[in-house]
Amino acid sequence: MLERRANGEFTDLDLDDKEKNYVEAYEEFAEYVHEWAIRKGWWDIEEKEGGERNDAEMIALMHSELSEALEGLRGSLDSEKIPGYRNVEEELADCIVRIMDYGSARGLRIGEALVVKQRFNEKRPYRHGGKKY
Ligand SMILES: [Mg+2]
């Protein structure tokens, strides 16, 4: 599979069938999430008003979901919005939804990057060469 890097150069990304499935499932769900976000009005500024959403604000909102996940561990464990799930599960899912929405909107290849970064991580030494955490 021939892919274009962020710097515009092409590289040969050789994904096996399992990796292709991961990437396709991620990208398909990310597009679905982004289309839903557009229908809910979160992208009106870009879709209807000729403006641009603030990328830093969207990343800050991803941070906020991680903070909510931490609070989910500190306080009530059970989600009220999605019964049967823990708050930490709900909030981490919220963070992933925001990442999917943002990445799809900006044309980022997060599905591929996940696979490629995991490959890279698997080649790193034990605890990445002795780091404590
Ligand atoms: Mg949340």
> Per-domain residue ranges for the chain?
2-123
Q: Which residues pair with 3 in a beta bridge?
A: 11
- Span from the CA of 81 to the centroid of ligand 1 (angstroms): 10
Cβ proximity of 98 and 65 under 8 Å: yes
* Distance from Cα 91 to the centre of ligand 1, integer Å: 5
Which of residues 14 and 57 earns the better pLDDT score? 57
Sign of the C-alpha dihedral computed for residues 66, 68, 73 and 77 taken in this order: negative
- pLDDT, one tens digit per residue, over 61-79 is 999 999 999 999 998 789 9
- Report the separation in Å between the CA atom of 89 and the middle of ligand 1, taken as the mean of its atom positions: 10
